[in-house]
Amino acid sequence: MAVTMEDAMDDAPKHFCGVVAMAFNSDVKSDLKKALRVIQHRGQEAAGIAVFDGATKYVRKMGLVHEVLAGPEYDALHGNVGIGHVRYSTTGSSCAQNCQPIVVTTNVGDVALGHNGDLVNATKLRNKLQNDGWAFLTTTDSEIIIRILANELTQSDPVKAIRSTLKCLDGAYALVIMIGGRVYGARDPLGLRPLCLGKLDKGYCLASESAVFDILQGEFVRDIAPGEIVEITPTGFTGHKMSGPAHTAHCMFEWVYFARPDTIMDGREVYDVRKKLGQVLALEQPADADVVIPVPDSGRANALGFAQESGIMYEEGLMKNRYVERTFILPEQAKREEGVSLKLNPIRSTVLGKRVVVVDDSIVRGTTLRKIVYMLRRAGAAEVHVRIGCPPVIAPCYYGIDMKTRDHFIAAGRTFEEIAELLNADSVGYTSVKGLQSALGLSEQDLCMACLTAEYPTCVPGEKMRFQKTLL
């Protein structure tokens, strides 16, 4: 490979996204739009839907769901089946060309695809296909999937073609696929990225998160099993399980940060897990303090759990301005810091003269917490103790979470005391890896914790593989 994995991570679009698919006995368009709004938190850069009504039509653009799915182009779409996608990407890789669903025309009909996740063998696959004379229009690994699928469809029926395609892929994917008027979903063999099935009044639906079914007045049916391909119709569904590894590798960060608290993922409610993480944190890393405050919004359930377990009063101590853009993806450190100051401001009466425990879901670079500690001290806090629901993030994610090169991570190679010094906090404590497993009720054999342990559930060049503990 000409580029290292970490270089590739920097340049490649990140598929930290959300997908939905529907098969109804009436028009799907407005429900697809509603469903995408429910999972808007999974990607705010771009959105799109593709529907089938004898032919495949689509709208996909940069922007929020309600901006993209409006106007004459959207009004002109009709069809009883369809798929949708919301896309997150880093600033550098955001461009209209990379929006999804991707649609291609084949001699067995149009094929549309939405993908959440990252393939670890994308560069290898692309190089091989390009050497064989294949051409690509975008830089996404999702295009590789649809090109292979289109090729397979010339020889096999849809399920066989999807199965052969998936056999070429290594890494994380939750896929929604429309082939002519038929709708399919597929989940990677390790279950890294989520996908679940719901029943609505008008038919069946696939979505990244179960909250979609609640808000569309439907019912959660089940998670798509790791390595399963499912076809949905207005009246039912058929699952086809591929043979796969003995263990799964559900991404722990979905529960820690990414998914909505009201979503139930692989049998565990996100809110409940986050609250338990806070409780474990209070037991493992207690603090002598007067008040517990969350970093809004993602630290709330952790802080509540911490307060309940420790008996320290929970208060709102930081006001969040929800109209400020996401600071995490801003390209320069100075801009990220400025963004945090614009986004958060202490509530003085909560913190003045108090020993404050401030709780967040995770620390990556430390930008947010460093700024918050500074603000809390400026607002008169007597002491500031930082507590984090997720164990220290020390290694890159190759499966779709936007955590990049190793030198970005404040926790890599540092003790809690050293991190406290960098944040100017009186103390710092994180939930342990064991504590995380107990909050989730899942063993290490069924979790991807690569960003915490630097041991990966698939073969990543230059990294250790989970359970094998050897450098590949």
State how far the Cα of 400 lies from the Cα of 218, in Å rounded to an integer.
28
- Contact present, 366 and 410 (Cβ < 8 Å): yes
- Contact present, 300 and 271 (Cβ < 8 Å): no
Active centre residues (catalytic): 17
Nearer to ligand AMP, 14 or 60 (CB): 14
Nearer to ligand AMP, 25 or 424 (CB): 424
What phi, psi does 163 have (nearest 5°)? -60, -45
Q: How far separated are the first and last CA of the chain, in Å rounded?
A: 14
- Contact present, 285 and 307 (Cβ < 8 Å): no
Strands 355-360 and 383-388: parallel
Q: What is the DSSP string of 30-82?
A: HHHHHHHHHTGGG--SEEEEEEESSSEEEEEEES-HHHHS-SHHHHT---SEE
Least separation in angstroms between CB 171 and ligand AMP: 17
Omega cis (within 30) before 297: yes
Least separation in angstroms between CB 456 and ligand AMP: 17
Nearer to ligand AMP, 239 or 413 (CB): 413
Nearer to ligand AMP, 44 or 310 (CB): 44
Q: What is the DSSP string of 245-310?
A: -SS--EEHHIIIIIS-TT-EETTEEHHHHHHHHHHHHHHHS----SEEEE-TTTTHHHHHHHHHHH
Nearer to ligand AMP, 152 or 254 (CB): 254
Nearer to ligand AMP, 81 or 451 (CB): 451
Least separation in angstroms between CB 237 and ligand AMP: 32
Single-letter amino acid code for the residue at 470: T
State how far the Cα of 442 lies from the Cα of 252, in Å rounded to an integer.
10
Binding residues vs ligand AMP (CB under 6 A): 257, 295, 298, 328, 360-368, 401-403
Least separation in angstroms between CB 409 and ligand AMP: 9
Q: How far is CA 461 from CA 141, 401, 458, 464, in A?
A: 17, 18, 10, 8
- Name the nearest CA neighbour of 343 among 370, 367, 324: 324
Least separation in angstroms between CB 332 and ligand AMP: 13
Nearer to ligand AMP, 153 or 270 (CB): 270
For residue 329, the 8-state DSSP code is T
- Name the nearest CA neighbour of 171 among 249, 93, 83: 249
Least separation in angstroms between CB 363 and ligand AMP: 4
Nearer to ligand AMP, 204 or 314 (CB): 314
Least separation in angstroms between CB 455 and ligand AMP: 20
∠ Cα 193 233 192 (to 5°): 5
Omega cis (within 30) before 101: yes
Least separation in angstroms between CB 250 and ligand AMP: 17
Single-letter amino acid code for the residue at 188: D
